[in-house]
């Protein structure tokens, strides 16, 4: 073999060796790259799984928080409604404050009892006086409200509630459109829904004003007032108290009494109703109660004390 052929063979062998070495390097790089891709893929899958788990946890937490928030809102609404109900109840009580007329009536009742006891006509426990009584009850809408009773008399001859009206002016009690005749237009304005024989109470009072256009001279005018129907008011209170006794196993009739005790008034009674009993002065009230005391004794002293306890137990703000 000549030198030329030997040289070619040597070059060829070297080339084969170089190619083999490069192939090994490329194979190693490919393997490393493949392993790297596998690890990267596995890492990405693990990462995605981890994110998914965390997302589920977050969703669960958000759902839990949302549920708790809803529960809190429900409880808060319930709490606010209860507070509102109680506030309304106590506000109703605060708006029914004792006035001078009630104090005056209370004194009349106490003086009458003292007189009857001193004359041995009754025993002290045969006439129990409770003034400014508040009885809670539920109205037709289920709302907690209270009904004030000015004066409650528990007597051996019966149970009476007395509503004091310290009104002044010209009082037309129990007047209806049919009785008012040509003045029925006043009732039409004040009580448009009243029928011809429905009774109402209106008051005429004098009103003095200074008129600058008339040289600052005082002018007199007549004012017409309406405070609702006192008859229905006292009869409603009697019914509520009677129901209270019935709820405690006592079937007791409560007699309603209206007492107009302002001396600065003119009183006209147009009513045809037998109830409530209407008294326009101290004399007629005393006569009415003394007459009742002379009647048969329906209740024992023990029964009267039981009734007193029933009222006091529910009368949250009793004086």
For 130-198, what is the HEC assignment?
A: EEEEEEEEECCCCCEEEEEEEEEEEECCEEEEEEEECCCEEEEEEECHHHHHHHHHHHHHHCCCCCCCC
Say if residue 10 is in the same domain as residue 109.
no
Cα separation, 179 vs 121, in Å, equals 43
More reliable by pLDDT, 107 or 17: 107
The whole-number average pLDDT for the span 189-204 is 87
Looking at the domain assignment, is residue 221 inside a domain? no
Confidence band for 317, pLDDT divided at 50, 70 and 90? very low
More reliable by pLDDT, 315 or 60: 315
Q: How many domains does the chain have?
A: 2
Looking at the domain assignment, is residue 196 inside a domain? no
Say if residue 144 is in the same domain as residue 108.
yes
Residue 314 has pLDDT above 80, yes or no: yes
Say if residue 50 is in the same domain as residue 74.
yes
Confidence band for 154, pLDDT divided at 50, 70 and 90? very high
> Of 95, 118, 141, which residue is a domain's last?
95
At 289, list the tokens. Answer: 């109660």
pLDDT of residue 318: 44
Looking at the domain assignment, is residue 268 inside a domain? yes
The whole-number average pLDDT for the span 38-46 is 60
The whole-number average pLDDT for the span 60-88 is 66
Looking at the domain assignment, is residue 212 inside a domain? no
What is the pLDDT of the chain when averaged over all its residues? 80
Residue 240 has pLDDT above 60, yes or no: yes
Looking at the domain assignment, is residue 218 inside a domain? no
Residue 91 has pLDDT above 70, yes or no: no
Residue 35 has pLDDT above 90, yes or no: no
Say if residue 282 is in the same domain as residue 244.
yes
Looking at the domain assignment, is residue 173 inside a domain? no
Q: Name residue, tokens 């405070």.
A: 227
Say if residue 155 is in the same domain as residue 246.
yes
Say if residue 55 is in the same domain as residue 86.
yes
Cα separation, 154 vs 140, in Å, equals 28
More reliable by pLDDT, 228 or 127: 127
Least Cα distance to 161 among 299, 277, 297 occurs for 277
> Of 70, 95, 120, which residue is a domain's last?
95
The whole-number average pLDDT for the span 176-198 is 85
Say if residue 106 is in the same domain as residue 253.
yes
CATH of the domain at 162: 3.40.1350
Confidence band for 95, pLDDT divided at 50, 70 and 90? very low
Looking at the domain assignment, is residue 179 inside a domain? no
Q: What percent of the chain has pLDDT over 70?
A: 66
pLDDT of residue 319: 45
Say if residue 39 is in the same domain as residue 125.
no
Looking at the domain assignment, is residue 117 inside a domain? yes
pLDDT of residue 294: 81
> Of 47, 72, 95, which residue is a domain's last?
95
Residue 43 has pLDDT above 90, yes or no: no
pLDDT of residue 96: 47
pLDDT of residue 218: 66
pTM of the complete model: 0.65
- Which range of residues forms the domain containing residue 248? 98-167+227-314
pLDDT of residue 251: 92
Lowest mean pLDDT among 20-34, 181-195, 228-242: 20-34
At 296, list the tokens. Answer: 């048969």
Say if residue 2 is in the same domain as residue 87.
yes
More reliable by pLDDT, 254 or 52: 254
Say if residue 9 is in the same domain as residue 144.
no
Residue 151 has pLDDT above 90, yes or no: yes
Residue 89 has pLDDT above 60, yes or no: no
Say if residue 133 is in the same domain as residue 246.
yes
Residues whose CB falls within 8 Å of the CB of residue 53, separated by 6 or more in sequence, listed in order: none
Residue 85 has pLDDT above 80, yes or no: no
Lowest mean pLDDT among 53-62, 154-163, 304-313: 53-62
Say if residue 52 is in the same domain as residue 141.
no
Cα separation, 37 vs 39, in Å, equals 5
């Amino acid at each position: 073999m000549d030198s030329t052929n030997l040289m070619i063979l040597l070059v060829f062998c070297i080339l084969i060796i170089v190619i083999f070495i490069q192939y090994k390097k490329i194979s190693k790089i490919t393997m490393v790259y493949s392993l790297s891709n596998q690890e990267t893929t596995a890492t990405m899958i693990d990462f995605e799984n981890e994110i998914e788990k965390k997302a589920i946890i977050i969703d669960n937490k958000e759902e839990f928080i949302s549920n708790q928030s809803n529960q809190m809102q429900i409880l808060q609404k319930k709490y606010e409604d209860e507070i509102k109900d109680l506030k309304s109840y106590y506000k109703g009580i605060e708006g029914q404050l004792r006035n001078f007329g009630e104090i005056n009536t209370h004194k009349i009742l106490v003086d009458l009892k003292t007189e009857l006891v001193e004359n041995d006509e009754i025993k002290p426990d045969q006439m129990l006086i409770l003034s400014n009584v508040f009885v809670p009850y539920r109205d037709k809408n289920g709302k907690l409200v209270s009904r004030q009773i000015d004066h409650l008399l528990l007597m051996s001859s019966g149970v009476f509630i007395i509503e004091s009206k310290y009104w002044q002016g010209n009082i037309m009690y129990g007047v209806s459109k049919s009785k008012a005749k040509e003045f029925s237009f006043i009732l039409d304005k004040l009580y448009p829904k009243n029928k011809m024989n429905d009774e109402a109470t209106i008051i005429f009072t004098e009103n003095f004003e200074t008129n600058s256009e008339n040289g600052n001279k005082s002018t007199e005018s007549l004012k017409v007032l309406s405070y609702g129907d006192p008859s229905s008011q006292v009869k409603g209170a009697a019914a509520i108290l009677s129901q209270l006794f019935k709820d405690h196993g006592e079937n007791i009739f409560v007699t309603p009494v209206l007492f107009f005790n302002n001396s600065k008034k003119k009183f006209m009674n147009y009513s045809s109703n037998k109830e409530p009993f209407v008294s326009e002065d101290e004399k007629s009230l005393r006569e009415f109660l003394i007459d009742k005391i002379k009647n048969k004794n329906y209740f024992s002293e023990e029964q009267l004390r039981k009734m007193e306890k029933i009222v006091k137990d529910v009368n949250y703000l009793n004086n």
